[in-house]
Homo-oligomer: A and B are copies of this chain.
Amino acid sequence: YGKNTIKFLRLHKEGKKHFVKEVEVCTHLRLISAQEYLEGNNSHVIPTDTIKNIVLVLAKKNGIPSLEQFAIDICNHFMTTFCQVMYVKTYVQEVPWQRLHENGVPHIHSFICVPDGIRFCEAEQCRNGPLIVFAGIKDLKLMKTTQSGFEGFYKNEHTTLPERHDRILCGELFCKWSYGECKDFDFDCIWNKIRECILEAFAGPPDCGEYSPSYQKTVNSIQMLVLSKVSQVQVIEVVLNNTFYNVLDMKNLGLTNDKEVLIPVEAPYGSCACTLARK
């Protein structure tokens, strides 16, 4: 297969108000034959440069109504235009430009980049197969300073970790989910709803939180809440890249450290992941 990446900005105006989408689009293609590899026969090969042009022409003609719709449009174009294409996948990722506000007033043409979780989506299709749409969020960094522990784990002669019932829970979240049959979904609205579910399941109620017995259980809580609240989601994958913090032992410096000063642990660096599907 071959893939390529292109990054661009799409502007549009409604009256005097400006709207901006900056996206990175990566298109994977697999052709019916492999003659370009085996024989050096390029007659079926669609050059990177042509793929770039197609993505830009579609952006110019249709705009980017939502990341998901744009990815669907690109897949459809390749499947219907090129009979030598066996499989196409389009990944679209957004640069998180947000409208600037001055004293609460939105600015008509100024934006600030706020990378608190990056939105992405994927559309993929095999010839004669259904078009499947995924969406997700990545690089979302979250922390709970209490209501987290890790106890009752398996122990043997190589175990040195003490049990803890009040540790820091901190990590970088990656979530990706698939939609079933994509009818007339409001992709922007659903994505925002799912993001709220993720934050709620991670943090628990604002006044007291909710105890997490492990990174793994927190992963599962996020999946369960999304599946229960958002009916369009069929399968959800969550990966949590953990950052561990150790309470620094300050005894040899003559001090008692009551979980006030903590040091991030670079290694071992762990992550846990789970994929859960609706029955």
Q: Which residues of A contact B (CB under 8 A)?
A: 1-12, 16, 18, 20, 34, 36-38, 40-54, 56-57, 59-61, 81-82, 84, 97, 100-102, 105-116, 140-147, 150-154, 156-161, 168, 196, 199-200, 202-209, 213-214, 216-217, 219-220, 242, 244-245, 248, 250, 252-255, 257, 259-264, 266-274
Assuming the A-B contacts A9-B245, A109-B146, A260-B11, are A2 and B57 also in contact, with contact meaning beta carbons closer than 8 angstroms in the complex?
no
Q: Quick check: A160 and B60 within 8 Å, CB to CB?
A: no
* Contact residues in B for A10 (Cβ distance below 8 Å): 260-261
* Cβ-defined partner of A9 (8 Å) among B9, B252, B261: B261
Copies in the complex: 4
* Contact residues in B for A242 (Cβ distance below 8 Å): 48
* Cβ-defined partner of A40 (8 Å) among B45, B97, B214: B214
Q: Quick check: A271 and B2 within 8 Å, CB to CB?
A: yes
Could you tell me the distance between the alpha carbons of A45 and B161 in the complex, rounded to whole angstroms? 12
Q: Quick check: B154 and A46 within 8 Å, CB to CB?
A: yes
Q: A169 CB to closest chain B CB, in angstroms? A: 9
**Who on chain B is nearest to A5 by CB?**
B269
* Contact residues in B for A203 (Cβ distance below 8 Å): 100, 102, 107, 110
Q: Quick check: B217 and A40 within 8 Å, CB to CB?
A: yes
